[in-house]
Structure 1
Amino acid sequence: MKYVIGIDLGTSAVKVLLVNQNGDVVQEASKSYPLIQEKSGYSEQNPEEWVDKTTEALSEIVHGFDGNVEDIEGISFSGQMHGLVLLNENKEVLRPAILWNDTRTSKQCQDIYEMVGKEKLLQITKNPALEGFTLPKILWVKENEPDVFAQASVFLLPKDYLRYRLTGELHSEYSDAAGTLLLNVAEKSWSEEICRLVDIPFELCPPLVESIDCVGGITSDFAAITGLSETTKVFAGGADNACGAVGSGILSEGKTLCSVGTSGVILSYESNKDLDFEGKVHYFNHSEENAFYTMGVTLAAGYSLSWFKDVFAPGESFEDFVDGMDTVPIGSNGLMFTPYLVGERTPHADSTIRASFIGADASHTRKDFVRAVIEGITFSLNESIEIFRENGKQIDTIISIGGGAKNKEWLQIQSDLFNAEIVKLKSEQGPGMGAAILAAYGSGWHQSLQECADQFLIPAETYTPIEENVIAYKKLFKIYKTIYNQTREINEELKEFRK
């Protein structure tokens, strides 16, 4: 039996999967590392932590493996997007990595619009200037840490730095590069024009490869430390959302992913490089060669539900907390929730807006509020689906993963509200499995990523829309969409009173 390893470099932990040729996860290991948050809005990590914890996890996997390590044929990666790692000419890290959830760069986002122009930026990168992206971080360092910037030789994204430490080879790949605001997404090349307009050296951009490309083998030093064989091939890998799509089989037209974690994602496969969503949703290169994906984000999806539970039912199990939700009718007895606890991303890029309960009265019980929160999260996700459909995208099958796939009633709510077939997978490993599929395909196990995904991913349950529920949710969704504009000004005025 042959094996591959998928490494998912997340924000709070690295997760490593050992997967066999049947697609079975035979071993896994996870190691956590801290965030560095010295000021409000700052979010950084020490890249050496990624290397150390990945080394520990891989060593644990190899130590528990009872086969021949040379049968572990390939390694690939998934990683948190947008983070900035700056290296000097000796390939040494110059400062802690600035992460995707760091919000210090509002000024730099406005600077980008002034220097490049919003229309040109969308034309080239397919995405608006948001604080989470990489280019604003580069400009922040240039403005606030000029001595550091002067030493910078190249920038890398988090999983690309980790891969460099395993192989000694410097690369980025298209799915992660698409989240920097420096890539011409349609043409699959770094934009010299944007570099010139924002006045950063084009040489900062690393060489580009495909997600499926073999970029070398592991170094002899790393092999000695972990116990892996030097014959193990290393493949470039992809951004976490791209790998999550691969790991959920989102590899053909009509296939869409609904992922509910702390944030929520609606991600849809796209073969067309020329669609224009006017920056309303993200538009990135896929890990499949010459394919793309569009993506809408709800910033506080699962977080809205965990917040409500932690505040009003601390210590209670999730199962007990949602028990009885299925007895509450559609519309939560006239109660509605908007999940804007930390602002919103799609379709409203608004850091000031905050959440609301609308319609509460004395007859409502806790289970009404629980269902309202779940419906509100799903309404927000549906705004992304609506944008896709309004732009001509076909969305008929949605793979649901994460917290939203753990409750049967929530899965049916998704089917009714999205008016689509919802599929729950038998085994859900998300981005880590996507990285393993990239390594399996790169190792020659299958003729295509789709063929590999078909082998690895098995549907467990399917939910279909109930027509009367679809009609009711359409009425409720129309109401939901009015709340943002009616509360936006109120939240602007309340901002000065927040801690």
Structure 2
Amino acid sequence: MSYVVGIDLGTSAVKALLVDKNGTVAAEASRSYPLFHEHSGWSEQKAEDWVQATIEALNELASSNGIAADQIEGISFSGQMHGLVLLDAENKPVRNAILWNDTRTTAQCREIERTLGDKLLGITRNPALEGFTLPKILWVRQYEPQAFEQAKLFVLPKDYVRYALTGELHMDYSDAAGTLLLDVAGKEWSGDVLSAFELPASFCPPLVESHGLVGTLLPEIAERTGLQASTKVFAGGADNACGAIGAGILSEGLTLSSIGTSGVILSYENDKDKDFQGKVHFFNHGKENSFYAMGVTLAAGYSLSWFKKTFAPNESFDEMLQGVGEVKPGAGGLIFTPYLVGERTPHADPAIRASFIGVDGSHERIHFARAVMEGITFSLNESVDMFRSVGKTVDKVVSIGGGAQNPVWLQMQADIFGATVVALENEQGPGLGAAMLAAYGCGWFESLEACADKFVKHAASYEPQPEAVETYKGLFRIYQQVYAQTRGMNEALVAYRG
């Protein structure tokens, strides 16, 4: 049996999956690494910690019982997006990596908007947000000029790990799309953006497709991991792109609903000119010459976790939600907006906060629990609604994460989205997508779609119920009014928050 490895470089840990030709996960290994918060709003990691953790995880996989090193044909990657790794002339990091969830760069975002104007959305297809890479580059140049002077090149997190394994420097399009330096539709580094900020073209690494072969393992890495030096290494992709691949989101009409701490609605797109006016993210896909649109709910699963911690701390989620399916759609006229930590899509607003609207004396805790689940799903439906408003088809939604663990929530998603919702048999997320890129790169399949047919296995399917669909249509329009009605109040309340 032959195998590939998918490496998912996350914010708290790296996870490596060993996958066979049937898409079965034969073994997995993970290693954690520290986060550094030197100042409020800062979030950094040491690039070498990623490398060490990845090598240890690969060594554990290579030691799996009954699997010989020569059976492992290829490796690919999924990586946390946007993180800045600055390299010197010898390709060594000049400082800690600044991560996607670092928020120090608000002033640099405003500078980008002033400098580029309409070119920003026209070229990069995304607004300037603190998480993106270019604002981080400008921050280092302004506040750490000595470090910036040493920097000759930048890469993203997974690209540095791959360089450490192969000695080759590249960046794939799906990750490059999150830098604000890529011409997303043209698939090239933007000369206009680079020149606007006086950055040389040599500051950016060569671009490559996600399934592209970028090298083999260095001899010393092969020795440390227990793998063969001839093991093929493929570029990989951004975590959201790989998550989409791992869920089979590879054709028009397919959409991903992912409910973790935050929530993501991601829809496949093959039209590079589709204009969302920056209201949702628009990135290159891990599938060649394809794209995806993505909206984000900041407090998705977190809203339900907050509710449990606050109102049912000694119960399991199942106990807390017992009977939620018996509450009719609309939770008895109760609406929740999940703005506990602000919101991203469609309201990029850090000051807005959550609300329960319509509370009366007949409501019990179970009504509030259902309203929280509905509110999270309404927030995700803001993105679905926006996709449809520009002519996108959303008729099948693959649901993963916490929202896929509860049959009531899966039916709720089908009813609110007005689309068929399916769960997956064995959810492995971005790591599986990375393994699929390696499998495709190794020539196991003629296309990523053929690979998905083998690797991605659907479980239960939920169809929208016409009566519930109509109820939720009316409630959703009311939900959409709450943001504007409460925005001013929340801004006034900022002064009273501890």
User: Would you call these one fold, judging by a TM-score over 0.5?
Assistant: yes
Aligned match of 2:51? 51
Aligned sequence identity (%): 63
Return the alpha-carbon distance in structure 2 between the equivalents of residues 497 and 85 of structure 1. 38
Matched AA of 1:341:
L
After TM superposition, the structure 1 = structure 2 runs for residues 414-429 of structure 1, keeping only pairs within 5 Å, are 414-429=413-428
Secondary structure in structure 2 of the residue aligned to 1:38: coil
Q: Is the 8 A contact 2:263 2:297 kept in 1?
A: yes
Return the alpha-carbon distance in structure 2 between the equivalents of residues 315 and 453 of structure 1. 41
- 1:456 correspondence with 2:428: no
Q: CA deviation at 1:273?
A: 0.6
Aligned match of 1:79? 79
Return the alpha-carbon distance in structure 1 between the equivalents of residues 255 and 103 of structure 2. 29
Aligned match of 1:331? 330
More deviation, 411-420/64-73: 64-73
Q: Is the 8 A contact 1:264 1:301 kept in 2?
A: yes
Q: Is the 8 A contact 1:182 1:191 kept in 2?
A: yes
- 1:9 correspondence with 2:28: no
Matched AA of 2:69:
V
Deviations 1:400-431 (A, max 9, x none): 01111000000000000000000111111010
Return the alpha-carbon distance in structure 1 between the equivalents of residues 173 and 304 of structure 2. 34
Aligned match of 1:285? 284
Q: Is the 8 A contact 1:15 1:432 kept in 2?
A: yes
Q: CA deviation at 1:498?
A: 2.3
Aligned match of 1:403? 402
Deviations 1:458-497 (A, max 9, x none): 1111000000000000010000000000111111111122
More deviation, 62-71/393-402: 62-71
More deviation, 261-270/465-474: 261-270
Matched AA of 1:43:
S
Aligned match of 2:245? 246
Q: CA deviation at 1:286?
A: 0.4
Q: CA deviation at 1:301?
A: 0.7
Aligned match of 1:482? 481
Return the alpha-carbon distance in structure 1 between the equivalents of residues 33 and 482 of structure 2. 39
Matched AA of 1:198:
F
Give the TM-score normalised by the residue count of structure 2. 0.99
Return the alpha-carbon distance in structure 2 between the equivalents of residues 36 and 311 of structure 1. 28
Aligned match of 1:377? 376
Deviations 1:76-119 (A, max 9, x none): 000110111111111111111111111111111100011111x1
Q: Is the 8 A contact 1:265 1:298 kept in 2?
A: yes
Give the TM-score normalised by the residue count of structure 1. 0.98
Secondary structure in structure 1 of the residue aligned to 2:100: coil
Aligned match of 1:469? 468
Q: Is the 8 A contact 1:425 1:457 kept in 2?
A: yes
Secondary structure in structure 2 of the residue aligned to 1:61: helix
Secondary structure in structure 2 of the residue aligned to 1:101: coil
**Two-structure CA RMSD over aligned residues (Å):** 1.0
Structure 1: gaps of 5 or more residues = none
Return the alpha-carbon distance in structure 2 between the equivalents of residues 322 and 141 of structure 1. 47
Return the alpha-carbon distance in structure 2 between the equivalents of residues 322 and 179 of structure 1. 37
Count of residues in correspondence between the two structures: 498
Matched AA of 2:90:
N
Deviations 1:370-400 (A, max 9, x none): 1111100000000000010000001100100
Aligned match of 1:302? 301
- 1:104 correspondence with 2:104: yes
Structure 2: gaps of 5 or more residues = none
Return the alpha-carbon distance in structure 2 between the equivalents of residues 31 and 496 of structure 1. 41
